[in-house]
Amino acid sequence: MNTRLKAKKLENYPLKEHTTLKIGGNAFEAYIPDSVKEVYEIKNSLACENLTIIGQGSNILVSSQGVQERVIFTRNLKNYEFPEQTIVKAECGLKSSNLAKILLEKNLSGLEFLVGIPGSLGGAVTMNSSAHGQAIEDTIESVEVLDLSNNNEIFTLNKSDLKLGYRDSFVEKNRHLVLTATFKLKKDDQSKIAERMDFHVNYRKQRHPALSIHPNAGSTFRNPCPGVFAGKLLEELGAGNWKKGKAAVSDKHCNFIINTGNATSLDVSRLMHKMHKSVKDVYGYDLIAEIRYLGEPTREEKEIWQNFTVH
């Protein structure tokens, strides 16, 4: 490795406390860059395709066996600027909820829904996050990305290049790391923006298990089609009392899996398998996982995840 790298390097680094599900083994090697330039330097210096990216650690299940790939934490990449009054450019590690609050102070509307999302902006763009009539695709203009596969150059993708779909994008399918994202927003009355943000926060408080009490990774499966909700299907199946080891389906929202105490990635995987199989057997829907598995799977986990992962 290039010894001139400025980014902090950590070896055999525990990942458990850096995920909202509070599950995960150790990373063989981890880096915490403080700038986009340092991310580029890490990628260029390591000269390998095997990189795992972790932002705020939401929407992921990290293997209890750990991660052999090098891990890059983007949580320190949280700078932002306003090139124009209604345009914001922000780095990938900025918390989605923090960006929403920043825009509130500027009287800018379009991303209010981000206030209720626990992840980072990079993850929100990659998954084309959305809620209650608002979505990343509505306001995004462009992103700067780094190809994690082979190309070491940083380049720009416009909105049309991103091919944004439901919980999907070009960068998701092609192992690109979103470094910065630029959005064009609209001016609005601050009280109206705050009211919409309050709606999103209160909706999640009422409908979703609280992260502070019940560690979780957000929605487990994508909704199978417009108007059909995975959580509702699972609720009808009585999934609210299903458990595997220390992993349990939340009785508050049946598309959430909670860690009731020292759950393993295998506990979660087995519970996901039961959820997926039950929905498919009864309703015929082949659910796709919304959360992502990172790290070294056991043989059983690998077999399980092949059932509901997009290849």
> What does the pLDDT read at residue 48?
65
Cβ atoms of 68 and 75 within 8 Å: the answer is no
Quick: pLDDT tens for 184-242: 999 999 999 999 999 999 999 999 999 999 999 999 999 999 999 999 999 999 999 89
Listed residue (53, 63, 52) closest to 21, CA to CA: 63
Poorest-pLDDT segment among 96-100, 248-252, 307-311: 307-311
Listed residue (72, 34, 35) closest to 51, CA to CA: 72
Q: What are phi and psi of 69, to 5 degrees?
A: -70, 155
Q: Where are the domains of the chain?
A: 8-73, 80-203, 212-305
DSSP-based three-state secondary structure for 254: coil
> What does the pLDDT read at residue 1?
42
Alpha-carbon dihedral sign for residues 251, 253, 255, 257: negative
> What does the pLDDT read at residue 2?
43
Mean pLDDT across the chain:
94
Query: Which one is catalytic: 219, 250, 265, 269?
Result: 219
**CA distance linking residue 276 with residue 151, whole number of Å:** 36
DSSP 165: B
Query: Which one is catalytic: 91, 112, 144, 290?
Result: 290
DSSP-based three-state secondary structure for 109: strand
For the beta carbon of residue 154, count every other beta carbon within 10 angstroms.
Answer: 17
**CA distance linking residue 193 with residue 305, whole number of Å:** 40
Q: Is residue 63 predicted with pLDDT exceeding 60?
A: yes
Listed residue (252, 168, 171) closest to 214, CA to CA: 252
DSSP 283: H
On the question of a common fold for 8-73 and 80-203, the answer reads no
Intra-chain end-to-end CA distance of the chain, in Å: 32
Query: Which one is catalytic: 70, 167, 222, 270?
Result: 167
H or E element in which residue 113 lies? none
> What does the pLDDT read at residue 174?
86
pLDDT band at 175 (very low <50, low <70, confident <90, very high): confident
Tokens of 36: 């986009």
pTM: 0.93
Q: Is-catalytic flag, 196?
A: no
Architecture of domain 212-305 in this structure? Alpha-Beta Complex (3.90)
> What does the pLDDT read at residue 49?
63
Q: Is-catalytic flag, 167?
A: yes
Report DSSP letters for 133-159, one per residue. TEEHHHHEEEEEEEESSS---EEEEEH
- Give exposure, 250-282, as e/b (b: 16+ Cβ within 10 Å): beebbbbbbbeeebbbbbbbbbbbbbbebbeee
Report DSSP letters for 175-200, one per residue. TEEEEEEEEE-EE--HHHHHHHHHHH
**CA distance linking residue 267 with residue 245, whole number of Å:** 5
Cβ atoms of 104 and 200 within 8 Å: the answer is no
Q: Is residue 25 predicted with pLDDT exceeding 50?
A: yes
> What does the pLDDT read at residue 106?
98
Task: Please give the share of the chain, as a percent, with pLDDT higher than 70.
Answer: 97
Quick: pLDDT tens for 96-140: 999 999 999 999 999 999 999 999 999 999 999 999 889 999 999
Query: Looking at the domain covering 8-73, what would its CATH class be?
Result: alpha beta
Strands of 243-244's sheet in order across: 216-219, 256-259, 247-249, 243-244
H or E element in which residue 11 lies? strand 8-14
132 Cβ neighbours under 8 A, 6+ residues apart: 113, 199, 200, 203
Q: What is the CATH number of domain 80-203?
A: 3.30.465.10
Report DSSP letters for 205-239, one per residue. HHHS--TTTS-EEEESB--SBTTB-HHHHHHHTTG
238 Cβ neighbours under 8 A, 6+ residues apart: none
